[in-house]
Amino acid sequence: MHSIAILGAGDLAATLARRVAEQELARRVVLVDPDEPRARGKALDISQSGPVEGFDVQVEAAATLAGAGAFDVLVVADPGELADPLLPPARARALGESLVPVAGKRLLLVAAASASTVIEAAVRKGMGRQLVLGSAPVAYAGALARRLASEMQVEPRGVSALVLGLPPDQMVIPRESACVGGVPVDRLSPVALRRAAAGLASRAPGPVALAAAAARVLRALRGSRPSILSVLVSLQGEYGHRGVAVAVPARLASGGVDSVVEVPLEPVDRVAFDRAAQRRLQEAYWA
């Protein structure tokens, strides 16, 4: 992964650019925003911290994607459209469709929390499903692990869980996936998972968490071996649904989404997941 273009120059875009630079996930990062002086200032700030922090990545700015030069991955962070929490679905759909000719055969990663409509529009416009995904579910999974660790009074790094559906309001957590040191949480506490999930209800992650999630996905996409992460992808028959972008565990490789992992769901979780997918269908219909 030589070059990454990040659409936006807000808090999410700048934080992600810094994460990419610090972890040297690419040799070149370009912040793309119509307010080029703002983007250039943030790029310069990150570049000047390189010698202090010990990273050597070229960080640039451009007013348009056409002016960004060649890039391998396009990340949608916080352009003006997605910075609006009440963005109408029609505008999100138009944004997704407009990115297809620019992205081409490159990877398109949506780092913003509101990503489903953009992903669905890009796939319907002709982008391969394997090339388009959203990273926000990784942030929700991290937040869940943190809350579970607090409930269980253990180190967060020892906690793991999968997040499906449409977090945070329609989040599905397969019970057997929530583990502490490999032991299912329910076997250690009958209430910890329910309390942790309730604590996340209606709470969207902030720019630092979203940037960390996007960086984690980018790291997985450049790894020598596939990784399995909860991400937003457009389903193509998996879990009995098609054409909707919801959070599911997926196998990520250098080419993008290698496959969707279908995990067994208990009846109550299956109903919740189907409701989330149905909500996406309804939103797409009325967009």
Model confidence band, residue 140 (pLDDT cutoffs 50, 70, 90): very high
The residue from 104, 135, 166 where one domain ends is: 135
Number of structural domains (the chain) is: 2
State whether 144 and 120 are in the same domain: no
Mean pLDDT of 107-133: 92
- Domain holding 206, by residue range, is 136-287
111 and 240 belong to one structural domain: no
pLDDT, the chain, mean: 90
Whole-number percent of the chain with pLDDT over 90? 64
Distance CA(206)–CA(230), nearest Å, equals: 18
180 and 102 in a single domain? The answer is: no
pLDDT at 208: 95
Q: What is the pLDDT of residues 240-263, one digit of tens each?
A: 999 999 999 999 998 899 999 999
Higher pLDDT among residues 224 and 82, named by residue: 224
What CATH number is given to the structural domain containing 214? Answer: 3.90.110.10
CATH number at residue 33: 3.40.50.720
109, 135, 161 — which closes off a domain? 135
Considering the domain architecture, whether residues 91 and 206 belong to the same structural domain is answered as no
pTM for this model (two decimals): 0.91
Residue 147 sits in the same domain as residue 71: no
Q: Are 165 and 272 in contact (CB under 8 A)?
A: yes
Residue whose entry in the numeric block shows the structure tokens 């997918």: 277
* Residues 31, 153 within the same domain: no
The 10s digit of each residue's pLDDT in 63-110 is: 998 898 899 999 999 876 555 554 567 777 888 888 888 888 899 999
Q: Are residues 176 and 125 in the same domain?
A: no
Cβ atoms < 10 Å from Cβ of 42: 22
169 compared with 108, residue with greater pLDDT: 108
Distance CA 250, CA 257 (A): 7
Q: At 226, is the secondary structure helix, strand, or coil? A: coil
Domain finish residue from 135, 166, 191:
135
